[in-house]
Structure 1
Amino acid sequence: MTITSPRGRTEMLRPDGSPVRVLVVDDETSLTELLSMALRYEGWEVRSAGDGAGAMRSARDFRPDAVVLDVMLPDMDGLAVLGRLRRELPQVPVLFLTAKDSVEDRIAGLTAGGDDYVTKPFSLEEVVARLRGLIRRSGAAAVRSESLLVVGDLTLDEDSHDVTRDGQSIHLTATEFELLRYLMRNPRRVLSKAQILDRVWSYDFGGQANVVELYISYLRRKIDAGRPPMIHTRRGAGYLIKPGEPGDAPR
């Protein structure tokens, strides 16, 4: 999905609201750092590896949504790494990086199961654009209207003010809607009472922070009742929203 970020760009997220994960594999450290920085600017979570063995270890642990893979690695070539990746993560899209621009090299990479390729030197914008396309097509991040916020099975439409959880409509008051919208614009982030007061009520309640607790309890009754909880308290810090886990006890 996509949401509008505070900096005016759009962020692609996984269906559960967590950042997209990309594994970058290249033995050129400076190139890896540059790519990783560009991808993190997109709001994505990035890990890197400098050889094929490291790539496989990272892939097993990280479970990436996409892989940027150099064809030439010190311990094995990228085609061999791709074959191993496909056995363990058959659906993950792979974008090849190659210094070779011959038709034969391109055909070899695509025939081996690569999804796309870019030749060195390349622009960072091109790599990001191609990864966005690959991730969307793979279904790892669904493209939705920018007015729609999604966290787990909870959706909020900022235009129509419709709120649903697991397809069931939820009626909220205007203040409850604003509070939920603020939480969902910041999934997995702890928001303090002071931050919530400033954003939702737009002024300082002069110590009446218990109004936040009151409205959090209202939201929980409507959002979490009989379901795995999504709204959580971090004692002494604030509140956050994250996808409900199947093993969590319903409220």
Structure 2
Amino acid sequence: MESAEASAAQPLLRISSPVLILAGPSPASNELTRRLRALDVKVLSAPSGSAGLGIAEEEGVNLLVADGRTSRRVSDLQEALSGIRSARPDLVALFWVDAEAEDAEVLQLCTSADDHMTGTVGVAEALRRLHLLSGRLPERREGERLVVGDLELDTTTRTVTRAGRDIDLSDTEFRLLRLLMRHARTVLPKAEILQQVWEYDFAGQANIVELYISYVRKKIEADMPRMIHTVRGAGYVLRPAVVQEDPTGSAG
């Protein structure tokens, strides 16, 4: 009972989405990615500065994590930061730097709006700092609104409608549909869906994907043209429904 009360009293972390992680592979970046996704935050990863710049512009990133440790940093980090800041002037960043980093090195990376951590990275501490950095943005950005054909999903209100009809989805169904809509017209393998929605490694768990695809289909396709298609041996794809023409030529 005490633990439940303590949990209820704990303030919730609220982190802007998406978050771009500009870093090579490391235990810290892998764990941070997992923990952010568990908070329903969209995470984007870039192993190079040029890739990070493209993602920041395309996805409207305002929150960045960059690994500036000597053994981990991407080779073109400084150039990438300059380009990203030019494209995203409201961006705030959390930098990971070596414990022995000189002041000049840290100040070259950080602006007054940014934050940094030195030495060994504590992921729980990184999450708290990202929560605080989110509050430094000029205003909290509007949630994501996705539209595919007559299907609409709004992450701010957590609502889904099709042709104006409200559709009630569970949290897992909502995450699954959001993933499909974000990548509309693209075939997503079961392994990727499993990892993105459930955070599982692909290990014989494909049946849960099939089960939830069937749940979502029943809700968004009830008495309406199909939108979610199975691509045998490849995965699933969501496309705008094909409107059947009236053979009589009537518009009504």
Under a length normalisation based on structure 1, what TM-score does the superposition of the two structures give?
0.49
Higher relative CO (Cα under 8 Å, sequence separation at least 6) belongs to 1
